[in-house]
Amino acid sequence: MKILSIQGHFGNMNGQKIDFSDRLCCRVLPNGWGKTTLCAFIRVMLYGLNTARRDTASALSDKTKYYPQDGKPMSGRMTVEFAGRPVTIVRESNRAGMMQGFQAFYEDTGEQCTLLTARNCGHVLLGMGEDAFLSSAMIDGLDMTRPSSELSEIILSMAQSGDTNARCGTALKTLARWRLDLNSGNGHGEQPRLEEDCRAAEKRLAEIAALENKTAAQRAHVQKMQAEADKARETYEKLYLVYAGKMVGEESQLRILKADSEKRIRNLKDGLPDEILLREAEEALYGYEGAVRLEREKRSGMPYVDSNYKHKMREVDARKTSEEVKRNRATRPRIRWAALILALLLAVAAAGTALSGADFGILTKYMPYLLSGMAALSLLLSFLGSVPRLDDPDEDYDESKQQLALEHRRTVDDQHMAASVLQEEYDTALRAARKLWPNAETIEQAGEWIRAARDDWQALRREQSKLQDILVQMKRLNEASEKDETHKSEVDTARVRASRTRQAAEEAQQALSQMEGRLQAYGSRAEWQNALENAQQALRRAEIQLEAIRMAEEAIKSENAALSARISPQITELAQQYLAYLTSDSYKEIKLDSSLRARCAGDDGTLLDALRLSSGTRDQLYFALRLAVCQVLSGKESVPLVLDDPFLTWDNKRMERGLRLLQTLSKERQIILLTCRQAGRLGISKKEE
């Protein structure tokens, strides 16, 4: 395949036509006159323009970089010789995008070339894909200005597999970075973090289970102790009543009851807090407990709120897309073709009548005007009402989205408000409790003390009411009775036992409250179980990803080794010949060491890697490898070789050897050389823009 000519509105080409000759075609253009633009134009004409690529901070896309400077739509025309016949390829901009329209036809007959399409044009003409073409048949002199380490990697990649982009090494580095992100091997990464989350969740679930068992056992123990305390209290009251009745009679009994009641009242008053402050603390505690229930209710419903919000937003987008499709279909123009054809026929008839001078009697001189008027009327009818009017859309989709977003935000704000209210109620309850007990540290401890104080106040009220009843009865009694010392010891023993059992029951209840507070602080079992399941699922996904990365690394290494074994000897053999010619036999041998690093050997047999070579010799090595890659990858296909300033960093002597090598290679294939340096002294034909 040979490129005969190109023409287009692409970058600074401005529609000019450029012809190329057979063999070596050298065009000398100053810097900034469009050498890189011509190379990009040839590539786009063969393989198309990728309109999906976007501009980045470091590079512009082709559609932006090469936008026509003359302001016309981007288009191009290239004539090539394919299978012995001239074929013209045309790419134009259309509704699908820049350079998306495609035509291919034979120049000599004008018939369509059905072998070529917009997608397979480059593959059919050159026998290789775009990446292979850029790696072999298109050489950019800017590669010579790369840093030594980067150019060394490119030379290694070409010597192994003919790939100038070093995709194998890049892919392996990317996979290694992904693998280290998942598991660095020293305890860092996604997998160790997930394993730690699983262990923490399992530990917390075990602690919750153990604490629940202890709480259940303690609750049973509290019930048992309360039953014993009630029984001891009942026994004491029975003995006391018997003692009072036997010893002093009814009046003495009332006196004893009065003294005992007053004693209990004094004991209760000694440890009681202020009732007003206690009532304030109780109200704050009730508010905190209500805020806890509200916050849990709001938090439990948040996953459903988020999923429902996303589902409704997708439904609005679907309805909007459906409405747009419906409206697009409705706005298509509907032309009345029958009326249009009739208008055309009437116009032709009017012209024919005027020219032929046909006889229509008295209407002869009016007939052309009559037919023209009918043609105009038919033309008006053909387009009348062709574009229908659209009704207003049934729904304002942006407003619907705003309403959904507002409702979702309101729900989220409610949850945040519940959490804020919970924190405020917590602080309020703790401050109210610290007014009574300054050493209160937690809300659970404060709640326990508040409830205990309220029980004591209620007990005080009962004792005061009981004392009032005794005083009323004592006023009615005037008889006295003697005391019975026989049962006094039994009553005292029963009283001591009742007091001890009641104290033991209170201590057991306090321990139970502490356990319940710790259990509440741990969180619910369902939440931790859900967290464990999520962490286990994420861990399984990470393990699957690690295994996939390992398999991908093995596959890439295996395929690259096979490709290197097949292509590397061919590339090395040709590159040796080219390098020997370029360096005047100073370097006759190219070898790959055990690490597949390219090295050159001179007459003394000393091997020098790319980093130890001079910059000019390294550029010659790179140029020889690129020519060898083109020869190996193209195979039997006569692929044109396009060079953009390949001798940018070469001195005159090296450039002379390079040009003579290109002259030799041009006997087998077309070579298009674009350079800013004069080459006329070698007798090479050139065309200047």
Could you tell me if residue 54 is inside a domain? yes
Counting residues of the chain whose pLDDT is more than 90, the rounded percentage is 9
**What's the pLDDT band for 157 if we cut at 50, 70, 90?**
low
Lowest mean pLDDT among 53-57, 124-128, 200-204, 363-367: 363-367
Using the predicted structure, report yes or no on whether residue 476 has a pLDDT greater than 70: no
Using the predicted structure, report yes or no on whether residue 364 has a pLDDT greater than 90: no
Q: Is 89 helix (H, G, I), strand (E, B) or coil?
A: strand
> DSSP secondary structure string, 428-451?
HHHHHHHHH-TT--SHHHHHHHHH
For residue 330, what pLDDT is reported?
66
**What's the pLDDT band for 679 if we cut at 50, 70, 90?**
low
Instruction: Report d(CA 203, CA 60) in Å as an integer.
Output: 54
Average pLDDT value for the chain: 78
Look at strands 587-592 and 17-19 and give their pairing: unpaired
Using the predicted structure, report yes or no on whether residue 33 has a pLDDT greater than 80: no
User: Which tens digit of pLDDT belongs to each residue from 421-431?
Assistant: 777 777 777 77
Q: Cβ-count burial of 446 within 10 angstroms (0-12 exposed, 13-18 middle, 19+ buried)?
A: buried
Average pLDDT of span 621-625: 81
Could you tell me if residue 665 is inside a domain? yes
Counted residue by residue, the chain has a size of 689
CA distances from 593 to 150, 321, 549, 596 (A): 19, 60, 28, 5
Could you tell me if residue 425 is inside a domain? no
For residue 592, what pLDDT is reported?
58
Average pLDDT of span 527-545: 88
Q: Find the domain containing 99 and state its range.
A: 1-127+637-689
Instruction: Report d(CA 260, CA 80) in Å as an integer.
Output: 122
For residue 121, what pLDDT is reported?
92
For residue 56, what pLDDT is reported?
87
Q: Which residue has the higher pLDDT, 5 or 395?
A: 5
**What's the pLDDT band for 528 if we cut at 50, 70, 90?**
confident
Q: Residue 49's domain is classified under what CATH number?
A: 3.40.50.300
Instruction: Report d(CA 251, CA 319) in Å as an integer.
Output: 91
For residue 681, what pLDDT is reported?
42
**What's the pLDDT band for 76 if we cut at 50, 70, 90?**
very high
Could you tell me if residue 49 is inside a domain? yes
For residue 105, what pLDDT is reported?
95
Could you tell me if residue 482 is inside a domain? no
For residue 5, what pLDDT is reported?
93
571-606: b or e for each residue (b if 16 or more CB lie within 10 Å)? bbebbbebbbbbbeeebbebebeeeebbbbeeeeee
Can you give 592-634 as a three-state secondary structure string? ECCCCCEEEEECCCCEEECCCCCHHHHHHHHHHHHHHHHHHHH
Could you tell me if residue 679 is inside a domain? yes
Lowest mean pLDDT among 212-221, 246-255, 287-296, 344-353: 246-255
- The interaxial angle of helices 148-161 and 167-182, nearest 10 deg, is 110
Question: Into how many domains does the chain fold?
Answer: 1
Lowest mean pLDDT among 129-133, 383-387, 667-671: 383-387
Average pLDDT of span 257-285: 75
Using the predicted structure, report yes or no on whether residue 416 has a pLDDT greater than 80: no
Could you tell me if residue 14 is inside a domain? yes
Could you tell me if residue 63 is inside a domain? yes
User: Which tens digit of pLDDT belongs to each residue from 592-608?
Assistant: 554 446 667 766 666 66
User: Which tens digit of pLDDT belongs to each residue from 478-503?
Assistant: 443 444 455 677 778 888 888 888 89
Q: Quick one: residue 14, left, alpha or beta (phi over 0 = left, psi -120 to 50 = alpha)?
A: left
For residue 686, what pLDDT is reported?
43
243-269: b or e for each residue (b if 16 or more CB lie within 10 Å)? bbebbbbbbbbbbbbbebbeebbeebe
Using the predicted structure, report yes or no on whether residue 682 has a pLDDT greater than 70: no
CA distances from 393 to 116, 174, 332 (A): 45, 49, 17
Using the predicted structure, report yes or no on whether residue 689 has a pLDDT greater than 60: no
Counting residues of the chain whose pLDDT is more than 70, the rounded percentage is 81
Tokens representing 193?
């973090």
Q: What is the dihedral of CA 205, 211, 215, 217, to 10 degrees?
A: 110
Beta-bridged to residue 81, according to DSSP, are 2, 86
Please name the amino acid found at residue 317.
D
Instruction: Report d(CA 243, CA 246) in Å as an integer.
Output: 5
Q: Cβ-count burial of 401 within 10 angstroms (0-12 exposed, 13-18 middle, 19+ buried)?
A: middle
For residue 6, what pLDDT is reported?
93
Side by side, the strands of the sheet bearing 24-28 are: 24-28, 671-675, 641-644, 138-140
**What's the pLDDT band for 86 if we cut at 50, 70, 90?**
very high
Using the predicted structure, report yes or no on whether residue 88 has a pLDDT greater than 90: yes
